[in-house]
Chains A and B, each alone.
Chain A
Amino acid sequence: MGGKVLLANVDIPGIRGFDTYRAHGGYIAVEKALREMTATEVSLEVHKSGLRGRGGAGFPTGLKWSFLDRKSDKPRYLVCNADESEPGTFKDRYLMHHLPHLLLEGLIISSYALGVETCYIYIRGEFKYLVGVLEKAIKEAYQHGFLGERILGTGFSLKIYVHPGAGAYICGEETALLESLEGKRGNPRIKPPFPAFKGLYGCPTVVNNVETLAAVGPIINMGGEAYAKIGRGRSTGTKLISACGHINNPGVYEIEMGLPVEDFIYAPRYCGGIANDKLLKAVIPGGSSVPILPADLILNTAQGEQRLMTFESLAEGDFESGTMLGSGGFIVLDEDACIVRNTLNLTRFYRHESCGQCSPCREGTGWMEKVLHRIEHGEGKMSDIDLLVRVAKNIEGNTICPLGDAAAWPVASAIRHFRREFVYHVKFPEVVKNIDHGAIQSDTELLIPDSGTGIKYW
């Protein structure tokens, strides 16, 4: 299976069990790292690979590891962030479900590199069925001497625990996660201090996403430099994309970074085009928090360059005309989708998930939801649209954690790119009350012409 790094073996029957996994090259990376490499060498390979965090922010993993306070005499912790609750993102679930041992390999090698002896997997509460899958895999790893005391006869020991959350999106934010893991209310902490210095129980801690850590095994196997050759520019390697919405083939795909967005949407081996022969209207490419882009801007940048699936290309144009790769939750909306309703839905989510600690997010998310609810239900005013823009602006950047931004961006970008649709809702309340799809597709004046790429879209 060309180009696949994480999911290369996912189709092999029984790969979830230790024996099959081992028979297909499993745990060779652990052996290599622990027997042939020093901790520093492992970190160096990860650094060379150019691996960037897959949890949303894209922070270079090697750099993050280098911040870990190694002078402290306290124990260090590695925490695997498996809280995956962002609407549209379901790649970690897939990975853990099918390849639990790949994750464990990554955890063992990373712990070795970081000098960690206790590692936690903080898993979303709703993924209860995966707790058993992971615990079974952990048990198998203990039985075969890859976990526990003095692994492979080296001086390195490691324990891994699985800790389910209680169903709060905010516990995916790394410091809220640590609070929750400590048994407290999952409120994000005020930073600094960063977890690298004061994390779990006040000890130096690294928090990484499931996919990030799962990539560490393959990186050790192939070498950091080889991994860095996959992908494009500073977006190295492959990325799991969970595609959903109005497409023919929803699912989880592993793509090489640098794949054109257009190919990802239309190629039969990926999304396979828009379902029911409809036209593409908009895409939210990185999980619900990232700005929505209309069809023309997601396929090509404002400068007319083809948009690629990389951190850089998707961000091209900043907030004016760009978006973000985020966590890779790729949500596709067809011509019938109602942007106002979609935005309302997302805002409702953020309001529900705000921890309520800081005033802009606690009050602002609720306010935006109420205003959007009015507009969607034909009771909006023209001034409401600018009000939304203002509220979003007052939240953005002024909060403790990025959930505030995550709530503000969808609203701000929807209005930036689809203002006419909001205006339509205000102007024709009777029409929007009686239909449950995108309100203005019948208004020919508002159609965006085919830009000549050969693909018809709105």
Chain B
Amino acid sequence: MIKVTIDNIPVEVEDGTTILQAARKIGGKVVPPAMCYYTNLKGSGGKCRTCLVKVAQSSVKDPRPMAKLVASCSTPVQDGMVVQNLTSPEVVEARKGVVEFLLLNHPLDCPVCDQAGECDLQDLSFGYGMEETATEEERREFPVKDIGENIQLHMNRCILCYRCVYVADQLTDKRLHGILYRGDVSEISTFISNSVTNDFSGNMIDVCPVGALTDKTFRFKSRVWFLKPMNAHRSCSTCTGKVTAWMFGNEIYRVTGRKDRFGEVEEFICNECRYEKKTLNDWEIEGPRRIKRQSVISANHYEEMKKQSVIKPIEGLMEPPE
């Protein structure tokens, strides 16, 4: 086991753990926001740069600070490492900059976006962004596309986190989906307008942190905060059949994977469970699922919303872990 300190809070983790995972072990405010990293997707992370932290001391052996801020999702901890997240003004500033970059070309069409209310970018900009926008430049625009029968792609909203690419790569057998072009004209696309049809392709929707990939069977059906998330299961030959069913009264409006408190699905589910099983008869309902989001819902309870700012380096705990 290795000892590290994050925002003054000590924690012990296994060798090879990343700073982000160590912070998640502590929980609460020390956890840096992660827009591209996804535990279950190999190779993900390092791209969005929202999880940047400062390493004030590299290890017991090498007490020097690291020269640059590092991506906590892809930097392994070392014994005696001292990490600053919200206690470093530099980190808070840099993160503000990253949020600004992510919003620079974002259409801000939340009022007509199905993701609103459960969008990581909304949460991120609320938690870490600036109040005003400095850009007066035109935003880049792409046409809306269908990629397969059940998924719609709004490339304008995409933050190029590559998560869906890893889903396509790791969960489906024939990868038809990837990134075209480069730089700020990169776009998610399929190979010569092919449809994405594989059994597990729907998980792209769940991993997408924004409203770029949305479920067409749920399109414009309801705002998510009017729905009750319920844990449900069925016996399924393709996946484990453990899902969250989003209900209004006795109706199931949509089915998604079960997301943990860091917004990551616990188990990927198959397309049959996601798109085709939408009646109460299909599912055993277990009970309500607690969802913690800054921006909106938890079975209609708004959780405390708070703007993150620099925390003064204080002795001891900043806040009891969750």
Contact = CB atoms under 8 A, between A and B. Distances in A.
Interface of A: 168, 170, 185, 190, 192, 351-360, 362-367, 370-371, 387, 390, 393-394, 397-400
B184 A400 contact: no
Contacts of A190: 45-46, 71, 74
Given A190-B46, A363-B104, A398 B98 contact: yes
Nearest to B101: A363
A362 B186 contact: yes
A388 B321 CA distance: 40
Interface string B186-213: 1000000000000000000000000000
B12 to A, nearest CB: 22
Interface stretch (B47-55, B147-155, B288-296): B47-55
Contacts of B134: 387
Given A359-B48, A359-B102, A394 B94 contact: yes
Contacts of A371: 137
Contact of A354 (B52, B71, B184): B184
Contacts of B61: none
Contacts of B49: 358-360, 398-399
B165 to A, nearest CB: 10
Contacts of A399: 49
B250 to A, nearest CB: 43
A358 B94 contact: no
A365 B46 contact: no
Q: B45, B162, B184: which has the most chain A beta carbons within 10 Å?
A: B184
B69 interface: yes
Contacts of A393: 97
Contacts of A358: 46-49
B182 to A, nearest CB: 5
Contact of B100 (A192, A362, A394): A394
A363 B45 contact: no
Given A358-B48, A360-B101, A367 B159 contact: no
Contacts of B159: 359
A365 B137 contact: no
B8 interface: no
A366 B45 contact: no
B227 interface: no
B298 interface: no
Contacts of B181: 356
A351 B105 CA distance: 15
Nearest to B104: A363
A365 B49 CA distance: 15
26 contacts: A168-B182, A170-B182, A190-B45, A354-B183, A356-B184, A358-B46, A358-B47, A358-B48, A359-B47, A359-B49, A359-B102, A360-B97, A360-B101, A363-B102, A367-B137, A371-B137, A394-B94, A394-B100, A394-B101, A397-B68, A397-B69, A398-B97, A399-B49, A400-B46, A400-B47, A400-B71
Contacts of B269: none
Given A353-B182, A356-B184, A359-B49, 19 more contacts: A190-B74, A351-B183, A354-B184, A356-B182, A357-B160, A358-B47, A359-B47, A359-B48, A359-B101, A360-B97, A360-B101, A363-B101, A363-B105, A366-B183, A367-B101, A394-B100, A394-B101, A398-B94, A398-B97
Contacts of A390: 97
Given A190-B45, A359-B47, A363-B105, A354 B182 contact: yes
A390 B93 CA distance: 11
Contacts of A170: 182
Nearest to B134: A387
Contacts of A397: 68-69
B40 interface: no
A367 B98 CA distance: 13
B135 interface: yes
Contacts of A400: 46-47, 71
B182 A351 contact: no
Contacts of A366: 104-105, 183-184
Interface in B98-142: 98, 100-102, 104-105, 134-135, 137
B179 interface: yes
A359 to B, nearest CB: 5
